[in-house]
Amino acid sequence: MKKYIINGGNSLYGEVDIESSKNGLLPILAGTILTEEQCVIHKLPDFLDIKNMINILKHTGMKCTYYGDTIIIDGANANTSELGIELSSPLRSSIYALGAFLGRFKKAKICYPGGCDIGLRPIDLHLRGLKDLGVKIIEQHGNIYCDGSNMKGGKVFLDFPSVGATVNIMLAGVLTEGTTTIYNCAKEPEIVDLQKFLNAMGAKIRGAGSSTISIKGVNKLHKVEWTPIGDRIVAGTYMIACAMCGGKVVLKNAIYEHNQYLINLLMRAGCNVVVKNSNIIVECTKRTKSIQKIETMPYPAFPTDLQPQLMALECISSGNSIIVENLYETRFKHVPELLKMGANIIVKNQTAFISGVDKLYGAEVKASDLRAGAGLILAGLCAKGYTTVNSVEHILRGYENIDKKLQALNADIKLIDE
């Protein structure tokens, strides 16, 4: 059982290199299924969700060879369009195999995906979108059988700008005859990076970053060499850490525009954030002020994936704040843990009311999911005394060496393996 032991109270100083975006890389890795040629991907981060996605590629018959943090993926011998429960259930992004299999093989059989326990997370929008491209779908006994032999470009209207549904329809549409248009699509930077990646392989996609994406089907994709974007949620986590602990942190490989909403909030709260030589520098010298009210929404608004971390900050800011979680029904599981540390939070349905306290106190807490775990680490970093964060396997799914990176910033945190 792994756990983090944190002795809180140190200010943070120094540089941190932000790893490649988990949620950007997962669709890109699935996208490599679409070509028989080699894909070279640099700056591959070392965490579990990426390893699980690579296991899916290997199962598909793709040859994966590592050179340090570069991976060469060779799809010449890919030979299956089926995915069982043991590879589907460890991660939500296993659902991307559906779009990729349909793109390459025009058929797929997969199971429902797993992932963080933060809400219902249906895949109805994915399936409806694929049906709009002519895919015949049968859902039976937990399996999804898809026949794409008559697929052709079509118009897809998403009821909600779902990231996953946008990715799946892009993956399914690239090698499909005709033009596919996705209306009300997700605008996240990870979608823009996927468009750039697929276009570098010869796809004809435009519009990513806006609410309409247009995909002109091509016959074939070719080899590519790629370095993914830095992870905006990881970058945001370190920025909030600095706001909570005080100090000065330089973020390398982070993109200012991708975190603009958070940066504005931090500046309003009393931090100083500047960009210098393409690094983001966060400085915080006094107690932060509460942000008053924030709602999680699709990009470019405030991301749900930073909600637990922001809540940790609000717990120790001066004043009252309200956080509304609009995306997931059960993404407040960090609240009872923060209460153990002395926070003052009341939750009513999807809304948390927070009164800032002068200090949090170390306690034994449990990470219920990836981002909740990150929020608890941040709370531990600024708390008085020792905090133990249990169930860190969730955190290891999406943060690369967070203990070592925080240690390099002067934090007292250890990963213990018992």
The minimum distance between CB 237 and ligand EPZ, in angstroms, equals 11
Q: Say which DSSP state 361 is in.
A: B
116 in active site: yes
Nearer CB in complex with ligand EPZ: 362/398: 398
**Mask of contacts with ligand EPZ, 217-246, x by CB under 6 A?**
------------------------------
Site membership for ligand EPZ, residue 164 (CB under 6 A): yes
* Interface with ligand EPZ in residues 38-57 (CB under 6 A): none
Our finding on whether 94 is near ligand EPZ (CB under 6 A) is: no
- Selected catalytic residue, list 39, 111, 116, 245: 116
In terms of C-beta distances under 8 Å and separation of at least 24 residues, what long-range contacts does 255-262 make, across chains too? 255/189, 255/229, 255/230, 256/280, 257/189, 258/189, 258/229, 258/230, 258/232, 259/232, 259/235, 260/300, 261/300, 261/301, 261/302, 261/303, 262/236, 262/302, 262/303, 262/306, 262/310
* Residue 67: CB minimum distance to ligand EPZ, A: 25
Q: Which is closer to ligand EPZ, CB of 148 or CB of 189?
A: 189
Q: Which stretch binds ligand EPZ (CB under 6 A): 2-10, 114-122, 223-231, 260-268?
A: 114-122
How is 179-239 classified by DSSP, letter by letter? Answer: EEEEES----HHHHHHHHHHHHTT-EEE-BTBSEEEEE--S----EEE-PPB-HHHHHHHH
> Which residue is nearest to ligand EPZ, using beta carbons?
164
The reply to whether 122 sits near ligand EPZ by the rule CB under 6 A is: yes
Site membership for ligand EPZ, residue 327 (CB under 6 A): yes
In the complex, what is the shortest distance from the CB of residue 24 to ligand EPZ, in angstroms, rounded to a whole number? 8
Considering the complex, state which of residue 173 and residue 303 has its C-beta at the smaller distance from ligand EPZ.
Answer: 303
Q: Which stretch binds ligand EPZ (CB under 6 A): 6-14, 138-146, 159-167, 285-293?
A: 159-167
Interface pick for ligand EPZ out of 35, 162, 168, 176 (rule CB under 6 A): 162
What sign does the CA torsion over 21, 26, 27, 31 have?
Answer: positive
Per-residue b or e along 348-377, where b marks 16 or more CB atoms closer than 10 Å to that residue's CB: eebebebbbbeebbbbebbbbbbbbbbbbb
Q: Residue 395 is inside which H or E element, if any? A: helix 393-396
Q: What share of the chain is helix, strand, coil (3-state, %, to 5)?
A: 35, 30, 35
Q: Report CA-CA distances (Å) from 85 to 27, 30, 33, 99, 113.
A: 19, 17, 19, 17, 8
Q: Out of 1, 68, 120, 277, point to the residue binding ligand EPZ (CB under 6 A).
A: 120
Strand 293-295 with 272-276, pairing: unpaired
Amino acid 332 reads: F
* Interface residue with ligand EPZ, options 86, 124, 139, 393 (CB under 6 A): 124
Considering only 111, 125, 169, 316, the residue that binds ligand EPZ (CB under 6 A) is 125
- Is 366 a binding residue for ligand EPZ by CB under 6 A? The answer is no
Instruction: Determine, following the binding rule CB under 6 A, whether residue 165 of this chain makes contact with ligand EPZ.
Output: yes
How many C-beta neighbours within 10 Å does residue 323 have?
23
Per CB under 6 A, contacts with ligand EPZ among 293-322 are 303-305
Half-sphere exposure in the Cβ direction for 39 (13 Å, CA):
30
Selected from 6, 16, 20, 23, the binder of ligand EPZ by CB under 6 A is 23
Taking CB under 6 A as the criterion, which residues in 54-83 touch ligand EPZ?
A: none
CB of 106 to ligand EPZ, least distance (A): 22
Residue 308 vs 342, nearer CB to ligand EPZ: 308
Which residues in 382-411 contact ligand EPZ (CB under 6 A)? Answer: 398
Quick check: 373 binds ligand EPZ (CB under 6 A)?
no
Q: How far apart are CA 249 and CA 230, in angstroms?
A: 16
Q: Do the beta carbons of residue 109 and residue 138 sit within 8 Å?
A: no
Q: Residue 100 has which token pair?
A: 């990729």
What is the contact surface with ligand EPZ in residues (CB under 6 A)?
23, 26, 92-93, 116, 119-126, 160, 162-165, 186, 303-305, 327-328, 370-371, 398
Residues with catalytic roles? 116
